Amino acid sequence: MVGPEEALKTQEYKAYRWRWLVLFAFCTFTFSNALGFVQYSPILSLAAEYYDVTDQDIVWFSNCYYITYVVFCPFTIRPLEKRLDLSLFLAAFVTALGQWFIYIAQQTYSFALVGFILIGMGQIFILAAPAYISDRWFPMHERTVSTSLGSFFNLVGLNFSIVYASITFQNVSDHDEIVDQIDFMNLLFAIFTTLAFLFCITMIRNKPATPPSISAASEKMLILPSFKRAFRSLESIMDLLTFSMFIGVSWAYMVVIAILLAPFNYTTEQIGYVSIVYAATGAIGGTLASIYVDYQIKNNTKPHYDYLIKGFLTIGVAGILIKALIINYVNDTVIVVLSGIIGFGLNSFLPLALQCYIEKLFPSFELVLTTAIMQMSNLFGFILNYILILEVFLDVGLWVILIAMGPFYLYLIFGYKTKFLRLEMEQQSAAA
């Protein structure tokens, strides 16, 4: 009888070109799903006038994303494992349906809220999927960059939404014009989500006929044991909480950036520039770092996960600290540059964090691990979102973020170390 290890050695491994179409379709989906998350963030007061509610009521549109993920994400693991394609078809359809709800709702706040809840239900299939798609479809030396692209197109969608709103509404004050422009924006986003749904049903497949790597073919731990392993020791709990906190901060910062800058009399256009730089530097930095890591893996070198993650987050924390200290005394250009530094630090580490966390807890099921991280990230993001919109914290929002990150940053610098359990197994099997 052939044992599991012998079977892995004799198994044929092949990477199919279709993997790039799967990734492309997923990226268009995650881009379109992210549009609604912050579409009103740069124009809170205008959106509040449109729906005849308060600014805080508008922020609850974004909170729908957080809440639905925290509550329902564990129930997506089994469907994604069994049928990746059908799960993403359903998620893309629900997202498109929600965006059309928002458009049809016009100025009815409660009906629009249902639309955002539906989009949030679509998102519960997205956030943990990039690392799973990379493991199922991509060879070991392409896993990090494919995870990066799958993750960062969510950031690209957030950025597009903010930029569109910032530019379109920079000189809009007439009520009828506000209504017309918001209606058109909602229609445009509904069309985008519909196109993404069509890409999904035509390009996404469940899995390749032949696994692309040893990791994809190997037996993983079951769902419940994988969850238990994430909480098995103080070290594993701190790893989970640390990564989750920084991801949650990066999301919350994007959502409430307009609120953080409002006390300093920033215009909608200026907030848009800040958001562009914040998102762009993170996406570019993370993608380049992912390419470098995959290059190291391709050359049988252990990637510098720890140096990169600690370096990125040190840059992000330092950027927030400097911004908090000097925001009252510098011009707009300096604030934009600092936002780029913060985005480079807080956003670039995401795909690296997901991959090194999977490495450290292998052979736990990677979909379980990334779901756990994203669930905690959404919980932290929601809490920060709620705190930062409170009037008592409006002038000190950056300091609140620093206090929240402080203990986890210290653990990351002095206590965290990656273990290459998956990579070592794959290299040993390949050499045998």
The string of pLDDT tens digits covering residues 338-373 is: 989 999 999 998 889 988 999 999 889 989 999 999
Question: pLDDT tier at 1 (50, 70, 90 boundaries)?
Answer: very low
**What pLDDT shows up at residue 398?**
84
Tell me the percentage of the chain whose pLDDT exceeds 90.
52
**Residue count (the chain):** 432
- Residue scoring higher pLDDT (387 or 143): 143
pLDDT in tens, 7-45: 555 667 888 899 999 999 999 999 999 888 777 877 878
**What pLDDT shows up at residue 308?**
94
pLDDT at 211 over 80: yes
Nearest to 242 by CA among 410, 414, 408, 416: 408
**What pLDDT shows up at residue 324?**
87
User: How many CA atoms lie less than 13 Å away from 386 in the CB half-sphere?
Assistant: 10
pLDDT in tens, 55-84: 888 888 888 888 899 999 999 999 999 999
Token representation of residue 428? 């040993």
Give whole-number Cα distances, 128 to 10, 327, 350, in Å: 30, 35, 12
| CA 136 – CA 326 distance, rounded (Å) | 47
**What pLDDT shows up at residue 336?**
84
| Residues contacting 115, CB < 8 A, separation 6+ | 36, 98, 99, 100, 101, 102, 105
pLDDT at 150 over 50: yes
**139-145: average pLDDT:** 90
| CA 330 – CA 9 distance, rounded (Å) | 61
| CA 33 – CA 25 distance, rounded (Å) | 12
* Look-up of token digits 């805080």: 56
Token representation of residue 86? 């059908």
pTM given for the model: 0.88
pLDDT at 220 over 90: no
pLDDT in tens, 235-275: 999 999 999 999 999 888 876 776 666 666 677 677 777 87
pLDDT in tens, 293-344: 999 988 888 899 999 999 999 999 999 999 889 888 888 788 888 989 999 9
Interior CA angle at 276 toward 392 and 270, to 5°? 60
Peptide bond into 42 cis (omega under 30): no
pLDDT in tens, 158-209: 888 888 888 888 888 888 899 999 999 999 999 999 999 999 999 999 999 8
Tell me the percentage of the chain whose pLDDT exceeds 70.
93
**398-426: average pLDDT:** 91
Question: pLDDT tier at 3 (50, 70, 90 boundaries)?
Answer: very low
